[in-house]
Amino acid sequence: MKNILKNLFSLTGYEIQKKAFLPGQRIGLDPFSDILYFLKENQMPLVLDIGANEGQTVFKIQKIIPNAIIHSFEPNQETYKILKEKINHYKSVTAWNFGIGSECSNLDFNESTLSSMSSFLPSTEETWGSVKQVSKIEVQTLDYFIARNNIKIIDLLKIDTQGFEYEVLVGAKTTLQEKRIKLIYLEVIMGGMYKNLPSLSSILSLLERNNFSVVAFYDQHHEYPKGTLHWCDILFINKEAALKL
């Protein structure tokens, strides 16, 4: 009977699945369930949240790992103030008001009417919202921040910087080479929402050279009517860390 029902639903474009799975039981359904699985042996993982916006990732990490130590980075001054207010009651979360990129400098930051669309990359007509202001923003490299704050291991590096992800990774050259990052969770945009977007292959190649494997793709959005992948999130794991599971 179960197989008959499955077949009937599949004909209509639906699939029957169990409502819940234990962490690690079904990889690829939920990124934070998978992150919990890979960090299950660590009660106080260190998380770097690059592109924190208003703290969406902070809330999700705190829910699954309440003792996680989180450094959140948000370059937009107005959004940073909102972030600070929302995370103020978390003692293990620190917010930083500067950007992370490929070199220490000051860059033009395009502040959008939709804060989640703000980027160091110029927007195009495809970008949601509109640029309301361009400001010079301090940018540090991840290598510089890690050295300055004496950070040894990063359990999770999350990057959501609206097309600036590759620059963040370039600025973590030494940290990546020294294999000091266990998991990387980032967004990749394949559409034309910003100018000078890095290719998916360039990001994959950089991480593959640094001993990372893809765990899964999440939250996939396709461009209609082309049907091609417009943007998605990807979770990577350091191969040496995966061998220890």
**pLDDT score at 192:** 87
% the chain with pLDDT above 90: 79
Cα distances from 214 to residues 67, 114, 184, 221, 232, in angstroms, run 26, 30, 9, 18, 13
List the helix and strand counts (H, then E) for the chain: 9, 10
Q: Which domains does the chain have, with CATH numbers?
A: 32-103+141-243 (3.40.50.150)
pLDDT above 80: residue 97: yes
List alpha helices for 39-76, DSSP H: 56-64
**Which of 132, 126, 141 has its CA nearest to residue 197?**
126
DSSP 8-state assignment for residue 113: S
For residue 44, what are the CA distances in angstroms to 102, 109, 242, 243? 28, 33, 19, 21
CA gap 85, 126 in Å, rounded? 31
Q: What is the mean pLDDT of residues 47-59?
A: 97
Per-residue model confidence (pLDDT) at position 19: 55
Give the predicted TM-score (pTM) of the model: 0.89
87-115 average pLDDT score: 96
Only one residue has tokens 């209609």, namely 224
- Determine the Cα–Cα distance for residues 190 and 187; give it in Å rounded to an integer: 10
Mean pLDDT value across the chain: 91
pLDDT reported for residue 208: 97
Structure tokens at 99: 């950007």
Residue 5 has pLDDT above 50, yes or no: no
pLDDT of residue 227: 83
Lowest mean pLDDT of 141-145, 189-193, 205-209, 210-214, name the range.
Answer: 189-193
User: What confidence tens digit (pLDDT) does each residue in 150-186 have?
Assistant: 999 999 999 999 999 999 999 999 999 999 999 999 9
